[in-house]
Structure 1
Amino acid sequence: MMMRRPLPGLLAAAALALLAGTAAAQPRDRPLRLVVNVGLQTLDPISSPSFVTRNFAYMVYDTLVAMDGKGGYRPQMLESWQASPDRLRWTFRLRPGLEFHDGAPVTAEDAVASIRRWGQRDSIGRRLMAATRDITVVDAATFALELSQPFGHVIEALGKPSVHVPFVMPARIAAATPPTTPAKEVVGSGPFLFSKDDWVPGERTVFRRNPAYRPREEPADGLAGGKRPLAERVEFLTMTDVSLRAAAITRGEVDYLEYAPLDYLPAFRKDRNLVLSQAGGISQIMGGLSINHHLPPFDRLPMRRALQAALDRGEIVAAHGLPGDMAFPDCVSLYMCGTPSSNDAGGDILRGASLDRARELLRQAGYAKERIVLLQPADSALINPMALVVIDRLKRAGFNLDVQAGDWSSIAGRWVGREPIERGGWNLVPVIYTGFDMADPLSNVGIGYNCTGNQPWGYCVEAMTPVLAAYATEGDPARRKALAAELQRLAIENVTFPTTGQFRSPAVWRAELRGVIDVGFPVMWNIERAK
């Protein structure tokens, strides 16, 4: 049953009152206001897999390495790195002047503790740690990573741009907090300060400019370069009603929508006061279905193949009503089309989607109408339209769905658990990812978590294990591409993560904003209003 939503008028009144109250509290400081896709509930980017938590973390934390606009990796908190001739020992040096928000200097001990915590949680992080003999502090600004075996992705791992990002936090927090437990303190060294007293979980998050932040001297480029906090105050707001989002951005009551209401895109394109994102390639979005491989019936491959056969990407993406130049339903690459590892291996399976084929595969699988719990993120402007089509197609194919709608924050808590169905467990969750999460095989959600036991994935394809190991040690680009294609073929054949279509991010911001970095998700540094 669909969750009942408040009346748009009530939502509008409540949100506009919130905006008015904020403005009244800050008469001399007009905040920079971002409407996020879903409400922020969890603040720890290592324990949480949510994009909204990642967005929050980029405000208050910083990274050792960052990806630029062309997909290259640059030093960020680091001043430099050096590798030994055999590439088994890496030495990293922090740049001077880094300081946490509590006034403590950032040291090599903090970097080491943060890497260790992240390395227990993330897919590529786990592989890096498995290949590592030790990470040691050399001096206050220098640390060394010594590998026990070749690993060709050290910098790519430390510069991973999306969930889970290896952000640096104080050693006293990182070393004392298990990676699946949210940290009790938010202490970063990033360009903005989190205003905890102003935080209304799920509704509003407030940040203030960090006056002690020392940006890099070079210009901002993607997630790299000089992160200059130009706004004195930034607010993340939640507006579940899409018509309210549209009205707020049109009237200038908010400055930036992480995801624009899709029905309004044609009008937004004609509005000279608005700018739509043009980010392509790795910045685009892929829809998919997270499968619980631990529980019946999708612990069995025949059932997963029946599921995959029911997913017509063209029909699912069409639910967004996107302009033709923003939707790419024909892409079959698990790495997303337009990224370096993109290929067609195994793609013929995806091109044959049909309800008749799904019904036949269900019959062959011996499906006896077992209940299948699908968690529907009804508050997500991007996921929900696709989810509704997925639900309809699966029901028409013969799957006995128990659809449980809710807000994303509540669903995310169940998603990372491993409870049986009768105690809040789940079978399917519609999700979206960006190319930042999909482009690298070692962090790809349908490949990189293979046989790690990590929720919410749990898949384990034995044939993928040696190919992943070979990819992790391979240094030759051509050989890497061939291994990536083989991994994709195995993932599609074993239905680790069935995709539902690729499309461009529908972000929109006010034209008077200057310095917006269009990377596919919102980063709020370098932005100022035209005088």
Structure 2
Amino acid sequence: MGIRTGLRNAMAAALLAAAPLTAPAVAQERPLRLVLNVGLQTLDPIAGPSFVTRNFSYMVFDTLIAMDSKGEYRPQMLEGWKVSEDGLTYTFTLRDGLEFSDGAPVTAEDCVASLKRWGLRDSLGRRLMAATKELRSTDAKTFTLELSRPFGLVIEALGKPSVQVPFIMPARLAANTPPTTPVAEVVGSGPFLFLRDQWIPGERTVFARNPRYRPRSEPADGLAGGKVARVERVEFVNMGDPGLRAAAVQRGEVDYLEYAPIDYIRTMQRDRNLVLARARGYAEIVGGISINHHQPPFDNVLVRRAVQQIMDRREIIAAEGVPENLSQPDCLSLYACGTFYAGPAGTEPVRETGIARARELLQQAGYKGERVVFLQPADSALINPIGLVMLDRLKQAGMNLDVQTSDWSSHAQRWIQRQPLDQGGWSLLPVIYTGFDLANPLSNPGIGYNCTNNQPWGYCDAAMTPVIERFEAEGDPAKRREIAGELQRLSIQGANFPLAGQFASPAVWRAELKGVIDFGFPILWNIERGGR
């Protein structure tokens, strides 16, 4: 164990032992403690494209539309919506009684400003806004989205479940903050309040029940339904060491792990005090490598294809130590297997991968040993093994690697920058996504950001643009699936975002917790302790 890891674990242990720093009425109840995969640094779900920020945001913000456990989209902050006969005008109405945590009512103006800001940043949001003639509020509770051309995924866009989610915040913040700059305040209308004065960035995040929140009357179902906060206090705690995480949940020092440490899954399955999540498909994890297309040598497609060739899915999944019944090493689709658009179209270049082929491609590209800055997030129990395998295989292929190891939060800050390599820039970063993020072409990191100049990848394939436009306009799901296959072929051909294999790394929680929603990422409303 390194010095940094030891200090981090010591801090985590101290945080677990610390008495809650809240008013006596709140302190009477034991807080619900969740261990996330990495520490929280960014509090803005639009500025920060990471799971940890998404998890934070579902606590304090709310969405207009939400996905339920069946993958269907239901009104959340909305009372409902109407669509014109020509399909070009959507009218949305907010439900009564919505308030922000500062006491201000939620208005249609807030929704319009929030959606416009999100639409400058998110891949699906940008495409929706590009097809929008006007987005305006018509009264305090009603706003209208008028399309300039057919766009078949309006509801799917507004109900997007994972990064970046169109959360609603006050117009005074959304309208005056660029999408890449974090908002100055955390003011949401979600079921919990963020206690900023108790936040230790990267280590501990504290929440209290939001007394202003009015949940829907329906039962909680996935991200939809009544978000009833049944505990007074929640804490996100960071523990870098998997063994420490496992011991903490087994001893009851924490209640919930975002991901069960893979080496401990078999032991946890035999522990009657623990429950492992069963959600699959959308909930499964897919490893990948984010390539900086802005920086040489990866502005050359042959060099990117060489990286694609080193992605041996079986070796990477083996390095994770995932049990066979929790992995899908034969899944080649860019859309997570088990989701609607998944299929084999265009996967021929990645059906057989190898280091020898990678060397050939580098030679064809004229690669002369240019420096490649590889960011390795050592504190992520899931990403670190993926990165180690990639590093070994990239070296075997002949790449000149400058490996820079740090925590995920630090790398995430560099990831969204476009500095030259000698000024803190980067070339490659191993990452993980879930099926939620990869399921739709317009949100898929290897397709949805094409020519948007908006996210770290920076790819732009002119041949992909008209195909995306066809996909956007198509209202028939079966025809969209066919177009999605064509987009997959183009993305793999351009080596936009090489994947590293699909597997389950299930959440785990204490058996005494009741009402846990097994959805694919932590949902902390509806939970209560047994015996209450």
Residue 126 of structure 1: aligned partner: 126
In the superposition, relative to structure 1, how do residues 175 and 23 fare at CA in structure 2: closer, same or farther (>3 Å)? closer
Maintained 8 Å contact 1:259/1:381: no
Aligned in 2, Cα 1:465/1:24: closer, same or farther, shift over 3 Å? closer
Equivalent position of 1:460 in the other structure: 460
Partner of 1:144: 144
Letter in structure 2 aligned against 1:357? R
What is the SS of the residue equivalent to 1:229?
A: coil
- Measured against aligned partners, the alpha-carbon deviations of 1:56-105 in whole angstroms (never above 9, x if no partner) come to 00000000000111111110000010000001111000000100001111
| Larger deviation, residues 205-214 vs 10-19 | 10-19
Shift of 1:336: 0.8
How far has the Cα of 1:12 moved from its partner?
4.7
Q: Is the 8 A contact 2:12 2:203 kept in 1?
A: no
Q: 1:430 & 1:6 partners in 2: Cα distance?
A: 21
What's the CA shift for 1:454?
Answer: 1.3
**Local SS of the residue matching 2:376:** strand
The yes-or-no answer on 1:210 pairing with 2:210 is yes
**1:316 to partner: Cα distance:** 0.5
In structure 2, the partner of 1:243 is 243
Kept in 1, the 8 Å contact 2:21–2:27? The answer is yes
Which deviations, in whole Å up to 9, do the C-alpha atoms of 1:183-241 show, x marking residues without a partner?
Answer: 00000000000011111111100000011211111111111111110010000000111
Alignment of 1:283-298 (within 5 A): 283-298=283-298
| CA distance 1:280–1:482, shift in 2 (3 Å) | same
Q: Paired residue for 1:182?
A: 182
Distance in 2 (CA, whole Å) between partners of 1:455 and 1:24 is 38
- Indicate the residue corresponding to 1:95 in structure 2: 95
Q: Deviation at 1:360?
A: 1.6
Q: Which residue of 2 aligns with 1:18?
A: 15
Deviation readout 1:16-73 (Å, 9 max, x if unpaired)? 2221213586651100000011111110000111110010000000000001111111
Q: 1:177, 1:7 → 2: CA distance?
A: 35
Q: Within 5 A, what are the aligned runs for 1:43-442?
A: 43-442=43-442
Equivalent pair of 2:9/2:240 in contact (CA under 8 Å): no
Q: Distance in 1 between matches of 2:459 and 2:268?
A: 41
Paired AA for residue 18 in structure 1? L
Tell me if the contact between 1:378 and 1:384 (Cα under 8 Å) persists in the aligned partners. yes
Structure 1 residues 249 and 386, CA, compared in 2 at 3 Å: closer, same or farther? Answer: same
Equivalent residue of 1:322, what SS? Answer: coil
Measured in 2, the distance between the counterparts of 1:432 and 1:278 equals: 19
SS at match of 1:139: coil
Change (3 A) 1:398 1:194: same
Q: Does 1:507 align with 2:507?
A: yes
Output the CA distance in 2 between the equivalents of 1:152 and 1:86. Answer: 12
User: Does the 8 Å CA contact 1:505/1:520 hold for their aligned counterparts?
Assistant: no
Q: Secondary structure of the residue that 2:259 maps to in structure 1?
A: coil
Q: Which amino acid aligns with 1:157?
A: A
Aligned partners of 1:498, 1:158: CA distance in 2, in Å?
27
* Residue 517 of structure 1, CA deviation: 0.9
Q: Matches of 2:9 and 2:169 in 1, distance apart?
A: 38
Change in Cα spacing, 1:454 to 1:12, as seen in structure 2 (3 Å) is: closer
Alpha-carbon distance, 1:281 to partner: 1.0
8 Å CA contact 1:35, 1:258 repeated in 2:
yes
2:286 match: secondary structure: strand
Give the letter aligned to residue 238 of structure 1.
Answer: N
Residue 4 of structure 1: how far off its partner (Å): 3.9
- AA paired with 2:163? V
Question: Structure 2: how far apart are the matches of 1:389 and 1:108?
Answer: 49
* CA-based RMSD: 1.3
Distance 1:105 1:213 in 2: 11
SS of residue paired to 1:144: strand
Deviation of 1:13 (Å): 4.2
Amino acid at match of 1:22: A
| In structure 2, distance between residues paired with 1:100 and 1:7 | 38
Residue identity opposite 2:243 in structure 1: S
Partner-residue secondary structure (3-state), 1:319 = helix
1:241-277 CA-to-partner distances (Å, cap 9, x unmatched) read 1111111011000000111221111111111111111
Kindly provide the CA deviation profile for residues 316-359 of structure 1, in whole angstroms up to 9, marking residues without a partner as x. Answer: 11111111111111101101100000010122211211111111
Q: 1:13 to 1:420 in 2, by over 3 A?
A: closer
1:403 and 1:315 map into 2 onto residues whose CA distance is 20
Question: Residue type of the partner of 1:102?
Answer: D
Distance 1:459 1:240 in 2: 33
Task: State how far apart, in whole Å, the 2-side matches of 1:89 and 1:207 are.
Answer: 39
Structure 2 CA distance, aligned partners of 1:466 and 1:20? 57
Provide the C-alpha distance between the structure 2 equivalents of 1:288 and 1:403, rounded to a whole number of angstroms.
Answer: 17
Which AA in structure 1 matches 2:339?
T
In 1: Cα distance, 2:301 partner to 2:362 partner: 11
Q: Residue in 2 aligned with 1:497?
A: 497
Query: What is the alpha-carbon distance in structure 2 between the residues aligned to residue 340 and residue 27 of structure 1?
Result: 46
How far apart in 2 are the matches of 1:251 and 1:150? 55
Deviations 1:146-178 (A, max 9, x none): 111111111011011111100000011100111
User: Normalization by structure 2: what TM-score?
Assistant: 0.97
Contact 2:5–2:240 (8 Å) recurs in 1: no
1:134 aligned counterpart, secondary structure: strand
Deviation at 1:5, TM superposition (A): 4.0
The aligned runs of 1:2-41 (5 Å cut-off) are: 4-6=2-4, 8=6, 11-23=8-20, 27-41=27-41
